[in-house]
Amino acid sequence: MELKTGETYIAYKSDNPLKNFKFKVLEADDLFFDAQILEGLLNIELWKPYTIRLTNDLGEQKFIETAPYYVEEKSKTARFLVIGYLLERRKFVRFNVESYRIPVEGKQFKGIVENISLGGLKIKLLSKEGEIEEGKQLFVKGKIEGNNYDFIITPVRVGKDFIAAKFEKPAKVTSEFFYKCLKLLENETLPVSEKRKFRRFYVEPFNIIVDTPMGMGILYDISLGGMKVRLKRTYEVDEELLKDSFAVSCFLPSKNEEYILDCELLNRTEDNFIQLKVARWDEQALKLISRIL
């Protein structure tokens, strides 16, 4: 059994890593383990697969697939079935965290995290000295909210202004680094103070395509108050037309469904984000939000 009694780990829901929890192993064998849940008890769904990242004795990334089958809320304990082990996972949900400007630096470069997953990250380079070789491990330092994280990555693709790399070790540090990045995103989904308070949900990983008079992009977050869209392509538009409500198309690739909403423009930023208010909660708007959430 790779999990060690008394050690702390983080488990991520395999199809939605924002659903995660931190736990300490109380007892373990080859097929089952018991745990004390330290954070994220409400994120546990029975019989749903979760992924735990480790590093084996050879220094290789290793992933445990597990599923909780019993939870005791009063004592905050849970029991888990070990589904299996994998040496590598190629399909992870990636999260864009560029707007948080999380610093990462190595001996030859300085940059910020552009996007991140349980398996690795993409670094947007701010400066670079010398060549960075693909496949050659690098020691890097990251920092989130005053906390330092030292770990090793292996670049798998190096461009003029970016490094795409997989995490190596220590697994406990890289998993915690990913966990803290997700916590920053979760803060965006907490209730925000507007004229009314709505809960916002981060949905960018679902790749919901939004077409507006200002341009086409991806739905970043949504609430009963409106939507935030990251524009990938912009259009020229008469600003006078934006003073009234306008039609917005939202396409869900996973369901092959399109919804047309009546929206108003609230705000537009220099980094191509737009904030939209849903002007009329008709059948189309209600169906869209029920499909997403």
For 251-266, the pLDDT digits (tens) are 998 888 899 999 999 8
Residue burial 109-145, b: 16+ Cβ < 10 Å; e: rest = bebbbbbbbbbbbbbebeebeeebeeeeebebebebe
57 pLDDT band, cuts 50/70/90, is: low
pLDDT at residue 38 greater than cutoff 70:
yes
Please tell me the predicted confidence (pLDDT) of residue 188. Answer: 54
Average pLDDT over residues 71-86: 86
Among 10-19, 84-93, 143-152, whose mean pLDDT is lowest? 84-93
pLDDT at residue 291 greater than cutoff 50:
yes
Please tell me the predicted confidence (pLDDT) of residue 194. Answer: 36
C-alpha distance from residue 272 to each of 98, 167, 205, 229, 288 (Å): 13, 30, 18, 8, 23
Element (H, E) at 94: none
Q: Please tell me the distance from the alpha carbon of residue 174 to that of residue 151, in angstroms, as a whole number.
A: 7
12 or 61, which is more confident: 12
293 pLDDT band, cuts 50/70/90, is: low
92 or 33, which is more confident: 33
Please tell me the predicted confidence (pLDDT) of residue 199. Answer: 60
Q: Please tell me the distance from the alpha carbon of residue 97 to that of residue 74, in angstroms, as a whole number.
A: 35
pLDDT at residue 70 greater than cutoff 60:
yes
Average pLDDT over residues 182-189: 69
Please tell me the predicted confidence (pLDDT) of residue 287. Answer: 80
193 pLDDT band, cuts 50/70/90, is: very low
CB 280: neighbour CB atoms within 10 A?
Answer: 11
Residues 250/224, Cβ–Cβ less than 8 Å = no
Letter for the amino acid at 133? E
Q: Which residues pair with 234 in a beta bridge?
A: 215
Average pLDDT over residues 43-55: 86
Domain 95-188 is in which class?
A: mainly beta
pLDDT at residue 175 greater than cutoff 70:
yes
Q: Please tell me the distance from the alpha carbon of residue 13 to that of residue 25, in angstroms, as a whole number.
A: 18
Q: Please tell me the distance from the alpha carbon of residue 267 to that of residue 257, in angstroms, as a whole number.
A: 27
Residues 98/81, Cβ–Cβ less than 8 Å = no
pLDDT at residue 197 greater than cutoff 60:
no
Instruction: Kindly report the CATH number that applies to the domain delimited by 192-292.
Output: 2.40.10.220
pLDDT at residue 195 greater than cutoff 80:
no
Q: Please tell me the distance from the alpha carbon of residue 11 to that of residue 236, in angstroms, as a whole number.
A: 45
5 or 94, which is more confident: 5
Q: What does the block give as tokens for 1?
A: 């059994």
3-state secondary structure 11-69: EEECCEEEEEEEEEEEEECCCEEEEEEEECHHHCCCCCCEEEEEECCCCCEEEEEEEEE
Among 5-14, 176-185, 212-221, whose mean pLDDT is lowest? 176-185
Residues 68/45, Cβ–Cβ less than 8 Å = yes
C-alpha distance from residue 213 to each of 217, 250, 271, 279 (Å): 11, 13, 17, 15
Please tell me the predicted confidence (pLDDT) of residue 48. Answer: 85
pLDDT at residue 190 greater than cutoff 80:
no
Q: Please tell me the distance from the alpha carbon of residue 176 to that of residue 205, in angstroms, as a whole number.
A: 20
SS3 (DSSP) at 178? helix
pLDDT, the chain, mean: 84
**pTM (predicted TM-score):** 0.49
